[in-house]
Amino acid sequence: MFRLKRLEIDTQSEHVVFINERAVCEGSLGFNPLDRVRVFGVDSEAEGQGGITGILNFCHDSLLEKDEIGLSEVAFADMALSEGAQVGATLARAPTSIACVREKLRGHRMTRADFDRILEDVVARRYSKPELAMFVLACALRNLDTQELIDFTGAMVDCGSSLRFDSAIVADKHCIGGIPGNRTTMIVVPILASLGVTIPKTSSRAITSPSGTADTMGVLANVELQASEIYDVVERVGGCIVWGGALDLAPADDVLITVERPMQIDTEAQMVASILAKKKTAGATHALIDIPVGSSAKVRSQAEAEDLAALFRLVAQAVELEVDIVVTEARGPIGSGVGPRLEALDVLSVLRREPDAPRGLREKSLYLAARLLERTGFAPDAEGYRLAHGALDSGRAEAKFEEMVDAQGRRSLPDPAVFRHVVVARRDGRIREIDSLEISRIAKLAGSPANVSAGLKLLRGVNSVVERGEPLFEIHAQSAAQLAFARDYAAESDEIYRYGF
Amino acid sequence: MFRLKRLEIDTQSEHVVFINERAVCEGSLGFNPLDRVRVFGVDSEAEGQGGITGILNFCHDSLLEKDEIGLSEVAFADMALSEGAQVGATLARAPTSIACVREKLRGHRMTRADFDRILEDVVARRYSKPELAMFVLACALRNLDTQELIDFTGAMVDCGSSLRFDSAIVADKHCIGGIPGNRTTMIVVPILASLGVTIPKTSSRAITSPSGTADTMGVLANVELQASEIYDVVERVGGCIVWGGALDLAPADDVLITVERPMQIDTEAQMVASILAKKKTAGATHALIDIPVGSSAKVRSQAEAEDLAALFRLVAQAVELEVDIVVTEARGPIGSGVGPRLEALDVLSVLRREPDAPRGLREKSLYLAARLLERTGFAPDAEGYRLAHGALDSGRAEAKFEEMVDAQGRRSLPDPAVFRHVVVARRDGRIREIDSLEISRIAKLAGSPANVSAGLKLLRGVNSVVERGEPLFEIHAQSAAQLAFARDYAAESDEIYRYGF
């Protein structure tokens, strides 16, 4: 038997179990590194219940005593025992649902029951990284047919919790990622809420981008709300902008993404299942999905966007969610800031109707708000834009946003970053396109989103005519080293701005 | 800048980089968990040289100070700097060879140059687990054609070091895994060496089995020899039986296996490339490959074995290795011991011509030795068996083995395990088959190979007629807990012994 120890290592969704190599060699257990083991509380063993399974790492005396078993952060939390508790460990078999994954690899179809079993094991962290990769690749390479995709999405919806609101109509929106400085949500939500639409928005933190909506909102307000707090805020204010990550909404998605991201496997099917399951479990009845198309966006062509839209409609119908799809053009960021603080300033300037507020951000927000108002029946067809415009220009949207910030818990705006560097144009010309991936990379190198004031501020946008030597953008960083990383990368990259007509 | 710290965590072939979450949040770096980062010595940065890349885990104050960066064992070794050295860290891009893997996933062919680039990155630990899984699955699902398999094998050969011996003929043997207690190597090698054949045998430790040849030899002699020591032993004795794991032979294989094993992806192509590359780099000119066929062996049917044999011949020719393939029947272990110490005792009893030496082990060893003698030209056709028999029965093979043990470094035989339990027959009948996978599992639960005296001793073998209640096998363990694990598993399993005619 061992004493349980919490090792403060964040291995994300993977359960890692640590054992002193001497404990194995000197006679307690016949384990090999990377074996899958089950760790159980000694009391719960009697009933064969409880415990967690994880992947084994050997370690030495500097980390663990011979009679200790260490667990990584999530494993320790899931184990739900105190440090020092008596635990045992034994070899664990692979989860039986792996057999379904192997069948798919051989080209067989999967059923709803298969997806349910697989996702249950995925959520319980019973899959190792290579096994997760195998599932994702089986779906990607053997393709899911429409019924499989519907079943996958249904299983994603049912593998965790759901929010439920009283309103008959609950609106939501989603933008297919990849475009930095595209913070329309924080403008659309207060516009709609100010017009009486229930719009409880759960957003993600940055995954591959320099800032997610939850990161940007997080500089102005608390975004880590429990379900009960969300119900309370929405009842009082009509909407919210919060982080969805701790609400157990379609949790399988959060685990799968830990392998999809490094593999850069991002099939249409996985995108559709993931987005629709998140909207559905967030309690939405009507969702607007924005598909930006551009050479550095996730979706690269109009044809691809239309295929994707058709798939969204088909699956949404099956899971009983009304979706409306808009395909937009993405030639670069539509706000001028990239990074949590700078994006939040853009949002505030639009809501406050400041004269230098980014026009692209304002117009796209109004357009999206108009669509949602019309599709949810809150505005007659062709009246949505006028209503949205009125809400914004009258200051009602701003007032609603301030109400929301207060209800969630106001935060004071962080100080601007101290370290700055201006990047200038290397040639004359008209800016045809700004590469979203390059902009994101620079902002991330500068420290965004972990350093909330880091990022960059665009001084010239798409369609501007610039002369060689004119400032294009300013990098903001909270340390000299990060400024240097970002500046050096920008200096070496030729393709951030593309010129032409 | 950070101070380098060694974290004694064995993450096997994966480089893991640890950083205190506060270091990120409080302004030094804009990293996310699981990001790929490059850690570099501050002196080497100037030249853009050196350093390692790894996957980032966040941790807390109990493990690292805010100004420290921790590395897992292999990463620390590859970093080749002392603890406390000044290092920096930056985001790293995915290795460019990943693009070749993606092309393969899309169905394109891979070239020799593609394999070379991929394996170079794999060996440098630049691939994360999901990326390794992607490469393995791309090869498995998109199939390698014959030329690709040849190129893959060639790249495997060239990705590390090779041993080189002076003899024109260097013999080797390999048995496709999965059969416990199948320790013919330790008998074949001394027979051949005693007849003047150069046979430097590099073996693996247990991967999925309860003991590898290196584990079993390791209870009698030192098996961790450097290349120079191997040359020395082989020059003096004519052969050796050592662990190949530290010799940098086809090192990509050792990395790929860390994902193949949990995925249980084991395609013919990967098996062929792995085995032939290991033989080739170990300096062999002639290799005998034994394919045991049985319902619980890796290869399940004669037809499958013949396909595999054809593939071996084709690829071996391309990499200029003479191979001879034998297909053998596997209805259970051919020795009576399973586990390092018990298997070593079997080997010694055959070499010493003891009357109760396991007959199956003796006969199969003679058969394999005969084939190798004939194919290497050391015996005329049909004379191999007679020669091998003479070497064994005259005691020359035993003397050669003792010489080899002395040359490598003799070890005293460990004590027998104290905890034992006899499993009895639950019915009358003739034993038709013993399930290799179940036997392996019991031996591993009992602690083998980490506990060298653990394992099991078969008291009745295939073809024995037994009565209900008669002893079938004895479990040996070095702790009461392990004995209980193995005993309980054996009690619950119905399919260890199969009866019939």
What is the pLDDT, as a whole number, of residue A11? 87
Contact state of B8 with A62 under an 8 Å Cβ cutoff: yes
The structural domains of chain B, ordered by start, are 2-91 (2.40.40.20), 98-143 (no CATH), 174-195+253-407 (3.40.1030.10), 419-499 (3.90.1170.30)
Interface check for A261 against chain B (CB to CB < 8 A): the answer is yes
DSSP sequence for B62-113: TT--TTEEEE-HHHHHHHT--TT-EEEEEE-PPPTTHHHHHHHHTT----HH
Interface check for B479 against chain A (CB to CB < 8 A): the answer is yes
Residues of B in contact with A454 (CB under 8 A): 30
CB B99 within 8 A of CB B113: no
Neighbours of B352 (CB within 10 A): 12
CA distance B359 to B345: 14
Nearest Cβ partner for A9 among B12, B63, B94: B63
Q: pLDDT confidence of B183, banded at 50, 70, 90?
A: very high
Nearest Cβ partner for A130 among B24, B133, B446: B133
pLDDT in tens, A99-136: 999 999 888 999 999 999 999 999 999 998 889 999 99
Residues of A in contact with B23 (CB under 8 A): none
DSSP sequence for B390-429: HHHHTTHHHHHHHHHHHHH-B-PPPPPPSEEEEEE-SS-E
Q: Work out the mean pLDDT of chain A and round it to a whole number.
A: 91
Nearest Cβ partner for A30 among B88, B91, B446: B446
B-chain residue closest to A453, CA distance = B27
Nearest Cβ partner for A12 among B33, B94, B132: B33
Cβ contacts below 8 Å, chain A against chain B, sum to 171
Percent of chain A with pLDDT over 90: 71
CA distance B152 to B148: 6
Collapsing DSSP to helix, strand or coil, A41 comes out as: strand
Please, is B35 exposed, middle or buried when counting C-beta atoms within 10 Å of its C-beta (0-12, 13-18, 19+)? buried
Interface check for B24 against chain A (CB to CB < 8 A): the answer is yes
Can you list the alpha helix ranges (DSSP code H) found in B106-203? Answer: 112-123, 129-141, 146-158, 185-194
A-chain residue closest to B135, CA distance = A263
- Of A24-33, A75-84, A158-167, which gets the smallest average pLDDT? A24-33
Q: Who contacts A354 (Cβ-Cβ below 8 Å, separation ≥6)?
A: none
Interface check for A57 against chain B (CB to CB < 8 A): the answer is yes
Neighbours of B427 (CB within 10 A): 10
Provide the shortest C-alpha distance from residue B118 to chain A (in Å). Answer: 15
Highest-confidence segment of A378-392, A438-452, B487-501: A378-392
Nearest Cβ partner for A130 among B24, B98, B263: B263
CA distance B36 to B39: 10
Contact state of A265 with B132 under an 8 Å Cβ cutoff: no
Residues of B in contact with A131 (CB under 8 A): 262-263
Interface check for B107 against chain A (CB to CB < 8 A): the answer is no
Phi, psi of A84 (to 5 degrees): 90, -10
Contact state of B27 with A447 under an 8 Å Cβ cutoff: yes
Interface check for B28 against chain A (CB to CB < 8 A): the answer is yes
Which CB contacts under 8 angstroms, 24+ apart, belong to B379-388?
B379/B195, B387/B195, B388/B191, B388/B195
CB A386 within 8 A of CB A401: no
Question: From the DSSP assignment, how many helices (H) and strands (E) are in chain A?
Answer: 19, 19
Residues of B in contact with A219 (CB under 8 A): none
pLDDT in tens, B210-264: 889 999 999 999 999 999 999 999 999 999 999 998 899 999 998 998 888 888 8
Provide the shortest C-alpha distance from residue B107 to chain A (in Å). Answer: 10
Interface check for B25 against chain A (CB to CB < 8 A): the answer is yes
CA distance A172 to B119: 46
Q: Is the dihedral of CA B491, B493, B494, B497 positive or negative?
A: negative
Contact state of A94 with B264 under an 8 Å Cβ cutoff: yes
Q: Which residues pair with B456 in a beta bridge?
A: B338, B475
DSSP sequence for A369-405: HHHHHHHTTSS-TTTHHHHHHHHHHTTHHHHHHHHHH
Collapsing DSSP to helix, strand or coil, A70 comes out as: strand
Contact state of B30 with A132 under an 8 Å Cβ cutoff: no
Nearest to B148 by CA among B103, B203, B212, B206: B103
Provide the shortest C-alpha distance from residue A263 to chain B (in Å). Answer: 6
User: Which one of B116, B232, B248, B266 is the catalytic residue?
Assistant: B266
Nearest Cβ partner for B34 among A9, A12, A265: A12
ipTM score for this prediction: 0.72
pLDDT in tens, A5-37: 999 999 888 899 999 988 877 755 667 788 889
Provide the shortest C-alpha distance from residue A380 to chain B (in Å). Answer: 45
CA distance B14 to B258: 9
CA distance A126 to A54: 7
pLDDT higher than 70, residue A157: yes
Contact state of A258 with B450 under an 8 Å Cβ cutoff: no
The residue of A57, A208, A445 whose CB has the most chain B CBs within 10 angstroms, and thus the best one to mutate to test that interface, is A57
Phi, psi of B469 (to 5 degrees): 95, -10
Contact state of B30 with A130 under an 8 Å Cβ cutoff: no
- Token digits for B188? 């074949």
Contact state of B10 with A58 under an 8 Å Cβ cutoff: yes
pLDDT in tens, B350-394: 999 999 999 999 999 999 999 999 999 999 988 999 999 999 999
Contact state of B262 with A11 under an 8 Å Cβ cutoff: no
B49: left (phi over 0), alpha (psi -120 to 50) or beta: beta
The residue of B35, B83, B137 whose CB has the most chain A CBs within 10 angstroms, and thus the best one to mutate to test that interface, is B137
Instruction: Report angle CA A359, A363, A365 to the nearest 5 degrees.
Output: 120
Provide the shortest C-alpha distance from residue B333 to chain A (in Å). Answer: 21
Interface check for B92 against chain A (CB to CB < 8 A): the answer is no
Nearest Cβ partner for B9 among A63, A444, A479: A63
pLDDT higher than 90, residue B482: no
Q: How many CA atoms lie within 13 A of B7 on its CB side?
A: 29
CA distance B312 to B291: 11
Sheet containing A419-424: order of strands: A337-338, A455-458, A471-477, A419-424
CA distance A72 to B175: 39
B-chain residue closest to A20, CA distance = B9
Contact state of A10 with B258 under an 8 Å Cβ cutoff: no
Q: Who contacts A398 (Cβ-Cβ below 8 Å, separation ≥6)?
A: A190, A351, A352, A353, A392
CB A171 within 8 A of CB A284: yes
What is the pLDDT, as a whole number, of residue A451? 87
Q: Which residues pair with B424 in a beta bridge?
A: B471
Strands (E), A164-264: 171-175, 199-203, 239-243
CB A459 within 8 A of CB A471: yes
Contact state of B482 with A18 under an 8 Å Cβ cutoff: no
Judge if the upstream peptide bond of residue B449 is cis by omega within 30 degrees of 0: yes
Residues of A in contact with B59 (CB under 8 A): 7-10
Residues of A in contact with B265 (CB under 8 A): 134
pLDDT in tens, A246-269: 899 999 998 998 888 888 887 888
- Token digits for B457? 């001793």
Collapsing DSSP to helix, strand or coil, B388 comes out as: helix
Interface check for B449 against chain A (CB to CB < 8 A): the answer is yes
Nearest to A486 by CA among A418, A415, A420, A414: A420
Q: How many CA atoms lie within 13 A of A88 on its CB side?
A: 15
Residues of A annotated catalytic, as ranges = 266
Percent of chain A with pLDDT over 70: 97
The residue of B8, B38, B93, B266 whose CB has the most chain A CBs within 10 angstroms, and thus the best one to mutate to test that interface, is B8
Residues of B in contact with A90 (CB under 8 A): 445, 485
- Of A48-52, A262-266, A429-433, B199-203, which gets the smallest average pLDDT? A48-52
- Of A439-448, A458-467, B204-213, which gets the smallest average pLDDT? B204-213
Sheet containing A286-293: order of strands: A171-175, A286-293, A322-329
CA distance A418 to A251: 38
Nearest to A281 by CA among A238, A212, A324, A230: A230
CA distance B122 to A228: 48
pLDDT in tens, B11-39: 888 899 999 988 877 755 667 788 889 99
CA distance A450 to A243: 15
Percent of chain B with pLDDT over 70: 97
Collapsing DSSP to helix, strand or coil, A37 comes out as: strand
Helix (H) or strand (E) holding B45: helix B42-45
Contact state of A262 with B131 under an 8 Å Cβ cutoff: yes
Q: Who contacts A235 (Cβ-Cβ below 8 Å, separation ≥6)?
A: none
Q: For B227-272, what is the HEC assignment?
A: HHHHHHHHHHHCEEEEECCCCCECHHHHHHHHHHHHHCCCCHHHHH
Nearest to A30 by CA among B336, B222, B72, B211: B211
CA distance A320 to A315: 9
Residue bearing tokens 């989603």: A174
Judge if the upstream peptide bond of residue B333 is cis by omega within 30 degrees of 0: no
CA distance A79 to A54: 11
Interface check for B62 against chain A (CB to CB < 8 A): the answer is yes
pLDDT higher than 60, residue B61: yes
Q: pLDDT confidence of A472, banded at 50, 70, 90?
A: very high
pLDDT in tens, B115-128: 999 999 999 999 98
Interface check for A206 against chain B (CB to CB < 8 A): the answer is yes
What is the pLDDT, as a whole number, of residue B451? 87
Contact state of B27 with A451 under an 8 Å Cβ cutoff: yes
Interface check for A456 against chain B (CB to CB < 8 A): the answer is no
CB A357 within 8 A of CB A398: no
Interface check for B12 against chain A (CB to CB < 8 A): the answer is yes
pLDDT in tens, A319-375: 999 999 999 988 889 899 999 999 999 999 999 999 999 999 999 999 999 999 999
Q: Which residues pair with A329 in a beta bridge?
A: A293
Nearest to A409 by CA among A188, A192, A196, A225: A225
